[in-house]
């Protein structure tokens, strides 16, 4: 005997202005105007001439080095970059590379010498200790390579979530999450790309990952860092030069 087919009730999505005026089903939350804001930021970043473009971590390692050495150099550059301008990080990495920057060379170096080389990066004394501790762990636990997961990377002394996600992007070409630094944190709050104001970069990362399409996760750090260095400055942002002035909730309009 033939089974009777029970017709499933379908939720009908009306187009705006049709039917009973019902709104179409919406995706979970997303910020107003974000696609247009993103396109305009891409336009402002087309020249790729911000400090992050010329001296960022992706420019600090020896691309001709063996992959394992390259990955170690990426991690070290990230550790040095915390609360330090790209120009200072780049110069410190160049000095380190001139001495042959490998796990073994850093293990053989005494702390005073390492400190003299990386000075004047921010918190350089702490970073000397972290670099020595982390390098020893890499040698003992990972055969001189760096971990390939965010969970393992953030266990290393001196490595935070932003560094871990950037290490995944740059060293492993893997997107495990969004790398959020002070620029991404500040701009995401100014543009209202977070549902409610976030207090720190890690809160911002979680908030962004809830709605931002995954294919944009790798690009967003590079875009917003350069934009934050050149236009959306921490103090006295250059709103008059910003293409988003008319659709930015935080813009100072003349």
Encode pLDDT of 104-116 as tens digits: 999 999 999 999 9
pLDDT digits (tens, 9 = 90+) for 21-33: 566 666 589 999 9
Q: What is the pLDDT of residues 162-205, one digit of tens each?
A: 999 999 999 999 999 999 999 999 999 999 999 999 999 999 99
Residue 3 has pLDDT above 90, yes or no: no
**d(Cα 92, Cα 77) in Å, to the nearest integer?**
9
Mean pLDDT of 197-218: 97
Contact 138, 103 (CB under 8 A): yes
CA-CA-CA-CA torsion sign (11, 17, 21, 26): positive
* Domains of the chain, first to last: 34-47+178-253 (1.10.1670.10), 61-172 (1.10.340.30)
Percent of the chain past pLDDT 90, that is, above it, reads 88
pLDDT above 70 for 19? no
Cα separation of 116 and 152, whole Å? 29
Whether the per-residue pLDDT at 136 is higher than 60: the answer is: yes
DSSP 72: H
Convert the pLDDT of each residue in 42-72 to its tens digit: 999 999 999 999 999 999 999 999 999 999 9
At 27 the pLDDT is 57
Taking CA atoms, 111 is separated from 72, 85, 114, 223, in Å, by: 18, 22, 5, 36
The more confidently predicted of residues 233 and 4 is 233
pLDDT of residue 238: 97
Beta strands in the chain (DSSP E): none
Give the span between the Cα atoms of 104 and 85, in whole angstroms: 27
Cut 0.75: pTM above it: yes
Strands (E), 65-168: none
Does 162 qualify as catalytic in the annotation? yes
Q: Which one is catalytic: 127, 132, 162, 218?
A: 162
Asked if residue 14 has pLDDT above 70, the reply is: no
Alpha-carbon torsion angle 199, 163, 32, 48, nearest 10:
130
The dihedral built from the CA positions of residue 61, 178, 183 and 185, taken in this order, carries a sign that is: negative
Is pLDDT of 227 > 60?
yes
Q: What is the pLDDT of residue 10?
A: 46
Amino acid 28: pLDDT: 80
Categorize the per-residue pLDDT at 141 as very low, low, confident or very high, splitting at 50, 70 and 90.
very high
Cα–Cα distance between 23 and 7 in angstroms, integer? Answer: 24
3 state SS of 62: coil
**Selected residue with higher pLDDT from 11 and 54:** 54
């Amino acid at each position: 005997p033939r089974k009777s087919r029970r017709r499933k009730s379908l939720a009908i999505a009306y187009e705006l202005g049709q039917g009973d005026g019902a709104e179409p089903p919406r995706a979970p939350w997303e910020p107003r105007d974000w696609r247009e804001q993103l396109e305009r930021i891409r336009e402002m970043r087309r020249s790729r001439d911000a400090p992050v473009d010329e001296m960022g971590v992706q420019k600090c390692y020896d691309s001709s080095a063996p992959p394992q050495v390259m990955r170690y150099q990426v991690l070290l550059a990230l550790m040095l970059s915390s609360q330090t301008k790209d120009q200072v990080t780049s110069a410190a990495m160049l000095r380190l590379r001139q001495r042959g920057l490998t796990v073994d060379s850093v293990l053989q170096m005494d702390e005073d010498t390492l400190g003299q080389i990386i000075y004047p990066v921010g918190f350089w004394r702490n970073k000397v200790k972290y670099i020595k501790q982390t390098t020893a762990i890499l040698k003992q636990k990972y055969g001189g390579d760096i971990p390939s997961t965010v969970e393992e990377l953030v266990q290393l002394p001196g490595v935070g979530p932003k560094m871990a996600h950037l290490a995944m992007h740059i060293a492993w070409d893997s997107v495990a999450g969004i790398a959020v630094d002070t620029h991404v944190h500040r701009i995401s709050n100014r543009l209202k790309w977070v549902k409610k104001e976030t207090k720190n970069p890690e809160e911002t990362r979680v908030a962004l990952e809830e709605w931002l399409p995954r294919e944009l996760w790798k690009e967003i750090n590079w875009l917003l860092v350069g934009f934050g260095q050149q236009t959306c400055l921490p103090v006295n942002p250059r709103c008059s030069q910003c293409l988003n002035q008319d659709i930015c909730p935080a813009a100072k309009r003349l």
